[in-house]
Amino acid sequence: MTIVIDRRVINGSKIDSELAEDMTKAGLDRIRSCIQCGTCTGSCPAGRRTAYRTRQLIRKALLGLREEVLSDPNLWLCSTCGTCTERCPRKIDVTEAILYLRNLSCEAGYMRPEHQGVSHKLIETGHAVPIDDEKWSKLREELGLDPLPPTVHSYPKAVKEIQHIIKKTGFDKLVNYKESKKDGET
Amino acid sequence: MVKHSYSFFLGCVIPNRLPQIEAATRLIAPKLDIELVEMKGASCCPAPGVIKSFDKATWLSITARNLALAEENGLDILVLCNGCYGTLIAGVDDLKDEETRKRVNKILKGTGHQFKGTITAKHLVEVLYNDIGKDAIEETVENPIDARFAIHIGCHLLKPSDIRPWGVVEDFTLVDELVETVGGTVVDYKLKDMCCGAGGGLRSAELEVSLDMVREKLEAMKEAKIDAMVNVCNFCHLQFDLGQMQVNKHFGTDYQIPVLYYTQLLGLAQGFTPKQMGLDKHFISVAPFLEKIGMSV
């Protein structure tokens, strides 16, 4: 009986060697010292129950498989617990590397609708989790608190400040936020 | 006694979903001579798992605005949420770099705020343990709480450790000691250091994975035969309380583990009523725990 082992061939045109360079420039300069030991994957509580493999993503990023990494839904299974970063024998900030790749993934247009929703709330109210139902104000009052907290919720000018920042960084465009008339009035 | 004053950072989940934690903290603070000064117009920290995942520049700019509000108060921040703490302390660290600070302050131009880098953020645990001290806390205890507790510390209180004041990342005992200070017995359990599964955008976009993580912790807590679990992060709290209900529905389990934020437990020990601590507002009933310590909702 012959054992057939498939050889994985990476098409050269898919390789983007600048990805590792970009990561280095973004302050993740130790990334190139990765020895693929797998301590990150072995420490990962999300990887224990899903197909998310930290080591594999780092390897692919170093190889320059930009599109494959940025479009991988597994990139979004990290809970950012930071255990891999603490345990990496090469002192690579693995969690920051994952966050950096996620930034690039969003930029490339791979963003979950739920995550766009959270971002839209931040743009509209200044809170990612706002008081969007009267019941939360009632709950506050039952506990002897003011119906609205002394946050952006009590200061419309503060919401404008957040929106000012967001316009400047282009976050509204990144998360595909379109100002509706109703939102414009508030 | 010296008064300890802080800029009080609320974040999103505490004021807008779990105000019982805000109410409890506002009540226990004066007993410890803690003054909470409001950060008027503060926003989302913004959340390190979501907003920082999407765009680091936006995340750091909004963080800098929040830090600037505290700086205008002239006071370090007291923060109750591990996620907000993670954001604020990373912001302080990133903004130590003059060039980064200049770049971010340029974005803040037009908001009326600039961050100079003269304040920092402290988590509740740091304030209670280092600034107030166990002895001073013990003096306020009128009603020691004799029960068995599992502690969930949460990730961002400890990690990344290079910008945290603790000096340890495993075998962290400060929360255990604070629970023992009010009379509790801390029970060890499997996976104590594990993440609750709420962060990183999992609760919003990968709920099943997120719930599977907290399910594993709930099972370990159940095996340890505890009366309640204690946490020091409202997002972990939400995951254990509301998430526990969702776990039961999703996996067909029947966990009934009461969930307490530390200031709620401390408040009970200081003689406040369960109602004042908002214990009647939880998703998972706290009644069995209260019964055990001779109280009722």
Answer whether residue A182 shows pLDDT above 60.
no
CATH code for the domain in which residue A88 is found: 1.10.1060.10
Query: Are A36 and A19 found together in one domain?
Result: yes
**Which residue among B98, B124, B150 closes a domain?**
B124
Q: Which residue of A has its CA nearest to B64?
A: A165
Please indicate, yes or no, whether residues A130 and A159 belong to a single structural domain of this protein. yes
Confidence of residue A12 (pLDDT cuts 50, 70, 90): confident
Query: Given B69, B90, B124, which residue is the final one in a domain?
Result: B124
Q: Which CATH number is B186's domain given? A: 3.40.50.11810
- Which residue ranges in chain B fall short of pLDDT 50? none
CATH code (residue B83): 1.20.1050.140
ipTM of predicted assembly, 2 dp: 0.96
* Stretch 70-129 of chain A: residues touching chain B, C-beta under 8 Å: 76-83, 85-86, 93, 95, 99-100, 102-103, 106, 111-112, 114-115, 117-119, 122, 126-129
What integer pLDDT is reported at residue B2 of this predicted model? 66
> Is residue B134 one of the residues assigned to a domain?
no
Task: Check whether residue B85 and residue B185 sit in a common domain.
Answer: no
Q: Is residue A94's pLDDT more than 50?
A: yes
Which residue from A162, A78, A71 is spatially nearest to A120, judged by alpha carbons?
A: A162
| Contact between B22 and A130 using a beta-carbon 8 Å cutoff | no
DSSP secondary structure letter of residue B292:
H
Residues of chain B in contact with residue A149, where contact means CB-CB under 8 angstroms, are 10, 15-16, 19, 22
Residue B130 lies in a domain: no
Number of structural domains found in chain B: 2
Domain count, chain A: 2
Residue A17: which pLDDT band, with cuts at 50, 70 and 90?
confident
Distance CA B162, CA A162 (A): 30
Query: Is B146 part of any domain?
Result: yes
- Name, in order, each residue with C-beta under 8 angstroms of A23's C-beta and a sequence gap of 6 or more: A31, A61, A97, A100
Contact B81, B18 (CB under 8 A): no
Q: State residue A6's pLDDT score.
A: 81
Q: Which of B12, B38, B59, B202 to mutate to test the interface with A (most CBs of A within 10 A)?
A: B12
Q: How confident is the model at residue A54 (pLDDT cuts 50, 70, 90)?
A: very high
Question: Are A101 and A160 in a shared domain?
Answer: no
Say whether both B53 and B149 belong to one domain: no
Amino acid at the residue B207? L
Q: Using CA atoms, how far apart are residues B20 and B26, in angstroms rounded to an integer?
A: 10
In whole angstroms, how far apart are CA B282 and each of A95, B61, B123? 33, 35, 23
Collapse the DSSP code of A38 into the 3-class scheme (helix H, G, I; strand E, B; otherwise coil) and give the result. coil
Q: Give A-chain residues touching B161 at CB under 8 angstroms.
A: 86
